[in-house]
Each structure stands twice: as structure tokens, then as C-alpha cells.
A and B are shown apart, each in its own frame.
Chain A
Amino acid sequence: MSAPRRLEVNEVWKSYGGDLYAVRDVSFVLEPGEFLTLLGPSGSGKTTTLMMIAGFETVSRGSIRIDGRDIADQSPEHRNFGIVFQGYALFPHMNVAENVAFPLRMKGMGKRERLIKAAEMLEKVGLEGFAQRRPHELSGGQQQRVALSRALVFDPDALLLDEPLGALDRKLREQLQIEIKELQKRIGISVLLVTHDQEEAMMMSDRIAVMADGGIVQMGTPADVYLHPATPFVAGFLGETNFLPGLCQGASEGYVSVKFRNGEIGRARPPRFGGVPATGDKALVSIRPERVRILKPGETMDSVIEGRVVSGTFLGRHARYIVEAEGQQVVVSTTEWSEATAVPPGTAVRLGWSSDDAQSLADVKV
């Protein structure tokens, strides 16, 4: 296996004419062996970005480089990326072995040699007995593995995955996520994944680039983007969160103090970009439901607000309380739950969180 290469996307723009940009000023580096995910809703430009890297879309502005070499002028067949498309795109008239051997055939490798390499690759994904089958005789998961083998067999510079698991049911999808991740580590290839599924992105990626309206809003490790989102969009797109609006009361010791609707003051991390808001500015704080606690009597935390329990629901893995506080509903998720300790609706409670778990957001249009 040849060493993976460094893929650099540099200030790339895509326009289909006029002032409408499908992709605006996207830059990132896919380091050798890294798993990077472009995560965003449809229309966020993630697939267009992937297609520009693959060579199926032209780049309007900016550059795409492999180990420093600009590949913008190369046609897709001369670039060296293994791509797995949505819906697999296996050749229906070829059997599994011929499908996997196809890229080697295109490179001019002899029949014996390429079938041996294809068989080795199929063994790595656990499909050794399926070489003679036709694609339509395989299950969705098996077809996915064939597509993956075909994209990896020719030592590509990087693996590009375009919503590769979208057509599969949840259980199989989770199983394949683990398999792909494991295969990626074993082979040591760089992977660029495009998906709209935030759980898939968190589960598989080393880093996530969250995209919206054609640009990257925030890039970081799954834990970083989840716990410390930069904008309301990122906070809301990656799972459930509580948005608490208020006014900035100043900053100290690396945190901002926010005065909420009821006059209570909570502390949070300062926004990821745009600077610390000035005193009196509008602020919006995001806190994940599992990071807010219902405090026991006498217990205290960095930030405490008062509220009243509206409802409590036991959901198995966790329990979920809705608490009326600061003139809105705050969701609290906890794993500490038993029939005896459940807080009944109507109870006055104090909610608390650690300042590091609350994130003040930038780009707030309140």
C-alpha cells in the first residue's frame, strides 16, 4: 500500500454563473490517514465540494492540491481518488471480482494479476466467497462492501465517500460505520466523508467540518464541535440543545457572564469567533441537555438558575425533564433516575451547569 497523500482544498469557490455561489471560500486540509467529514444539510455545498475534488465539477476559484501539486486541470479518470457513491454504482453486467478488478484493468494490469489483487481486497472486507456473484444477487451491505473494495484496490490518494450509507437501515448502517472506520485504520488511508447524518459524522470522524450555505461554519473534533458550537446553526444541527438568550454582562477569567430573561446570571465560554461581546450586547448561550443538572438541596455549581419541573419522562437509556425556567422550556437529560428519586411535575428546582459546558454563540441574530 502506498502512503496516503495530503489533500489540500484552498479557498475554493463554485458558481453556476451570476452571484449565486454553491460553494464559497472553502478551505481545509485532509492530512494523510485522517478521517474528515463534511457535515451539512442538503444544499450546504458539501457534495459540490466533493465533486470538485473528484473532478466532476469545475472549480470557479481557488485550488485543490495533492501533496502541493494542483490537480484542477486533471480529468476525473486521471485523478487518483477512490469514490463510493450513493447507491453503490456497481457495474450490473460484471460479477463481484470483475467489478473490483475494474480499476486495475483500466490501469492496464494483466487479468491474472488483477483478479488476484481483487480477491485479496475482497478477503479484507469479508466477501471471499462472493467473487462470482452478480451485484443484484447481493444484499445492500454486501454491495456496499464491494463498492468499498473497488474504491480501495488501486491504492488511491484518498477515499471519498458520498453519503455511502444513506440507503441502508439503521442497524446495518451502524455496523458498516464501524467496519469502514476499522478498515480505514487498518489500511491507513485518508477518508473524506460527505453526510447529513450528524451521528454518522461523530461516530466515524477525526474531524468534522460543518457546512451551511456553501461555506464551512466550524471545523474541529467531534467533541469540540458538539460541546462548543460556534453558531446557533451548528449547535442545533448536531443534536439537541437549549438556547438561552440574554444580555452580556462582561467577561472575566476567560468566560462571559450573561444575564438571562429573569435577571439571573450564568457563565459560559466566549463565542468561537467574532470576539467577546461588549457589555449590554445580545447574547445566546447553548447548553446540551445532558450538561444541565437538577441540583440537590445545598448543592451549587458555576451557574445556577431557578425553575419548575413541567414533566419527567423515563426513556430507558436516560430520563428527560422539561423545566420551565427563564420564561422558556429547558430540557434536562440525566442518567440518574429511579422511581424513588424522580422529581414530580410542579416541583421548584434549581438548575446548574459548569461554565465550560455552556457555550456563548457567535453570529446571533436575535
Chain B
Amino acid sequence: MALTENRPFPLGRMLLYAACAPILLLLVLPTLIIVPMALTKGQLIQFPPIWISIHSFTDYLADETWVSSTIVSFKISILAVVIGATAGSFAAIGLHKRDFPGRNIVAGLILAPIIIPGIVLALGDFLLLAPMHLIGSWTTIAILHALLVTPYVFISVQTSLTVGLSPTLIRSARSLGAGRLAVLRFVHWPAIRPGLLAGAVLGFAVSFDEVVLALFMQGSTTVTLPVRMFQAIEYDLTPKIMAAASLFIALALLGLTVQALTAKRARPA
């Protein structure tokens, strides 16, 4: 192992890099051109952009419809994460090391929303909720997004529990006088925290840029940011789209940073 790494030109490694580089470029390039395109002087999206102005950002912040879409998106994603994180965590705790008939069916149902094609889910929900006049409300979208967040939290909390929770730890806490709530707080909570955070960050990302459900459920006052961008692409090609896209990139970077920092802290010395 050490020998291979010390060789000046390990052929295998060079080939690996050569194969990976174009794939990596293809993955990152679309993201890299977003911010420069947002900095254009022009009134339309174009490549290459006409350097350099921040008018797309100021226009975006001055436009009431764009701002309200941004706020709606945040409201939806935050509520979806709160519901999904709670449901996903409790589901993971409830199913941890339990065996009962139908356990796999329950786990399958929890995971179903991310396995079923989005368009099928959206259509089904639309047909179900339209007669009940629930379309067009941001809470409806949030609750449906919570269905998408739950599996991600469920999976990551499940992993945390497998790593960090032993039945002996629970017994130990109980023998020391901890009731059910205290066990939840002092044994389960510290064990699930890293998984909960990772799942919540991922879940927020999934909800924030979800288009299909948001499109089906939209109302006059509940157009989420990605839906607004989608429609703007069709009608006016305004650089505000690029400003909004920059926001998505910033959020993604923030989420990754938070995760990297907490993962480092959680690792035992």
C-alpha cells in the first residue's frame, strides 16, 4: 500500500483520475456557471454574461412576488422538516431492534414516498385533496413534503441508533432511576442527534427544491420558489432566476458546512 503511494506515476491512479475528472466536471459545471450568470448586466439570461452588475439580486429582492415565493418556500420546508424529523426519529426509535409481524411492511410504508415516482404521488394527492378544497394552502404542501422528509430522517436516525445505542445503555439508565422520558432524553436523544441533524439537512434540501408536488398544489399565494423559477424560465427569462438559484447554492453550501462541522465534533478523539 505504502509502496504504491510512493511511486511517482502510479498508472492505475492516473487512469482513475482521468476517468473521474470529466464526470466530476460534468456534475459541477452547471452549478459553477449559475453565479456568474446572475451577475450579468443584461435583462435576460445569457451565456456568456455581460459583466458585471448585481441588479438581478436587487431586482429579485424588490419584486414582491419573488420575495413572497421565497418566504413561502422557507415556511413550507421548515414545517416539513419539523414534522418529518419528529415522525422519522420516533419511527426509527420505535422500530429499533423490534421484531413483530409486519415490521418490514411498516418500514416499507415509511420509505414509500421516496420510492414512488413524484408525479404519481402528486397526481394521487391532487385527486384526493382537490375535492376537499385543500389545494393552494402552504400547510398542505408542507405536510406532503413532510412525507418526503420522514424517510430521510428515518434512515439516518436508524443508522445513528445502530451505532450509538445499546440495550444495555437503556437498562443501565433505568436501573439508575431513569423513567421512560428520562431514558428518551439522556440515552436516545444523544444517540440520535447526529443522524437527526444529517437527515434534517438532507430533508430540507429535498423539500426546498421539490417542484412536482408544489406545482400540483400551488395556489395564487402559494407559489414556491422553484415553481416560480420554472414558470419564469418559460415566460420572461429574467436573471432573477439566476439570483434565486444562487440562493439555493448558498443554502446547500451552508448545509454541507454545518454537517461537516458537527460530524467532526461528534467523532471521538
Contacts and interface: CB of A to CB of B under 8 A. Distances in A.
B168 A137 contact: no
B179 interface: yes
A86 interface: yes
B176 A92 contact: no
Interface string B163-187: 0101011011111111100100011
A145 to B, nearest CB: 15
Contacts of A93: 190
B268 interface: yes
B176 A154 contact: yes
Contacts of A86: 168
Contacts, number: 63
Contact of A77 (B178, B186, B269): B178
A54 interface: yes
B269 A83 contact: no
Nearest to B176: A103
A301 interface: no
A58 to B, nearest CB: 14
B172 A85 contact: yes
A87 to B, nearest CB: 6
A89 B164 contact: no
Interface residues on A, range: 20 to 34
Nearest to B172: A89
Given A56-B171, A83-B172, A136-B268, A91 B190 contact: yes
Contact of A106 (B171, B176, B187, B268): B176
Contacts of A54: 171, 175
B269 A76 contact: no
Contacts of A321: none
B171 to A, nearest CB: 6
A91 B187 contact: yes
B151 to A, nearest CB: 27
Interface string B242-269: 0000000000000000000000000011
Contacts of A92: 164, 190, 268
A76 B173 CA distance: 10
Contacts of A260: none
A150 interface: yes
B171 A89 contact: yes
A150 B190 contact: no
A365 interface: no
B185 to A, nearest CB: 11
Contacts of A150: 176
A112 interface: no
Given A91-B186, A91-B190, A85 B179 contact: no
A76 B175 contact: yes
User: Lowest 9 CB-CB distances: which A-B pairs, in order?
Assistant: A106-B177, A89-B172, A103-B176, A93-B190, A83-B175, A76-B174, A89-B168, A77-B174, A85-B168
